[in-house]
Amino acid sequence: MAGGSGLLAACTSSAKSTGPAPRSATPGSATPKHGGNLVLGLTGGSSSDTIDPHKGVTYLDSSRLQALYDSLVQLDAQAQIEYALAESITPNNGLTTEWIIRLRPGVTFHSGKDLVADDVLYSLRRIISGNLSGTIALGPIDLTATKALDKLTVLVSMKKPFAGFVEHLAAFWFYLYIAPAGFNVAKPDGTGPFAYQSFNPGARSVFTRNPHYWKNGLPYADSLTLIDFSDGVSLQNALISGAVHGAGTLDGPQITALAAAGGVRTVVSRAGSITPFTMRVDQTPFSDVNVRQAFRLLVDRQQLINSASGGYGTVANDIFSPFDPDFDHALQRQKDIPQAKFLLKKAGQENMTVQLVTSAIAAGTIAMATVLAQQAAAAGVRINLSQVPPGTFFGPSYLRWTFAQDYYNYSPYLPQVAFSMLPTSPFNETHTSNPRYSSLYEQANATLNAATRAQIVHEMQEFDFTQGGYIIPAYIDSLDAYSDKLSGYTTAKVGQPLSNFGFERFWLA
Q: What CA–CA distance (Å, rounded) separates 220 from 243?
A: 20
Q: What CA–CA distance (Å, rounded) separates 71 from 86?
A: 8
Q: Is residue 444 part of a domain?
A: yes
| Alpha-carbon Rg for the chain in angstroms | 22
Average pLDDT of 45-56?
Answer: 92
CATH number of the domain residue 362 falls in: 3.10.105.10
Which of 95-99, 186-190, 193-197, 284-288 is the least confident region? Answer: 95-99
Confidence bin at 509 (pLDDT 50/70/90): confident
Q: Which residues have C-beta within 8 Å of that of residue 508, sequence separation ≥ 6? A: 33, 35, 36, 38, 220, 221, 245, 485, 486, 487
Instruction: Give the H or E element holding residue 499.
Output: helix 497-501
pLDDT at res. 342: 98
Q: Is residue 213 part of a domain?
A: no
pLDDT at res. 58: 85
Q: Is residue 405 part of a domain?
A: yes
The torsion of the CA quartet 118, 211, 221, 489, rounded to 10 degrees, works out to -50
pLDDT at res. 316: 98
pLDDT exceeds cutoff 50 at 20: no
pLDDT exceeds cutoff 70 at 14: no
pLDDT at res. 28: 44
**Mapping DSSP to helix (H, G, I), strand (E, B) and coil, where does residue 336 land?**
coil
Report the predicted TM-score, pTM, of the whole model to 2 decimal places. Answer: 0.84
Confidence bin at 44 (pLDDT 50/70/90): confident
Q: Are strands 264-274 and 507-508 parallel, antiparallel or unpaired?
A: unpaired
Q: Is residue 411 part of a domain?
A: yes
* pLDDT > 90: percent of the chain: 83
Q: What CA–CA distance (Å, rounded) separates 66 from 60?
A: 10
Q: What is the mean pLDDT of the chain?
A: 92
Q: What CA–CA distance (Å, rounded) separates 278 from 273?
A: 15
N- to C-terminal Cα distance for the chain? 36
What is the extent of the structural domain holding 438?
272-476
Q: Is residue 400 part of a domain?
A: yes
Confidence bin at 30 (pLDDT 50/70/90): low
Report yes or no: 474 and 195 within 8 Å, Cβ to Cβ: no
Average pLDDT of 82-106?
Answer: 94
pLDDT at res. 136: 87
Report yes or no: 81 and 170 within 8 Å, Cβ to Cβ: yes
Confidence bin at 436 (pLDDT 50/70/90): very high
The torsion of the CA quartet 449, 450, 456, 458, rounded to 10 degrees, works out to -170
pLDDT at res. 444: 93
Average pLDDT of 12-22?
Answer: 32
- Give the sheet arrangement for strand 153-157, strand by strand: 86-92, 95-103, 153-157, 147-150
pLDDT at res. 2: 29
Q: Are strands 382-387 and 353-358 parallel, antiparallel or unpaired?
A: parallel
Q: Is residue 300 part of a domain?
A: yes
Per-residue pLDDT tens digits for 237-280: 999 999 999 999 898 889 999 999 999 999 999 999 999 999 99
Average pLDDT of 357-385?
Answer: 95
pLDDT at res. 9: 27
Which of 11-25, 316-330, 441-455 is the least confident region? Answer: 11-25
Whose CA is closest to 405, among 437, 441, 367?
367
**Mapping DSSP to helix (H, G, I), strand (E, B) and coil, where does residue 430 land?**
coil
Whose CA is closest to 229, among 240, 213, 217, 216?
240
Q: What CA–CA distance (Å, rounded) separates 424 from 372?
A: 30
Q: What CA–CA distance (Å, rounded) separates 100 from 186?
A: 32
Instruction: Give the H or E element holding residue 123.
Output: helix 117-129
pLDDT at res. 162: 93
pLDDT at res. 101: 98
**How many domains in the chain?**
1
Confidence bin at 179 (pLDDT 50/70/90): very high
Query: DSSP secondary structure string, 355-399?
Result: EEEE-SSSTTHHHHHHHHHHHHGGGT-EEEEEE--HHHHTSTTTT
Q: Is residue 503 part of a domain?
A: no
Q: Are strands 264-274 and 277-279 parallel, antiparallel or unpaired?
A: unpaired
Q: Is residue 246 part of a domain?
A: no
Q: Are strands 73-75 and 264-274 parallel, antiparallel or unpaired?
A: unpaired
Q: Which residues pair with 143 in a beta bridge?
A: none
Report yes or no: 390 and 72 within 8 Å, Cβ to Cβ: no
pLDDT at res. 23: 37
C-alpha torsion sign, points 29, 32, 34, 38: positive
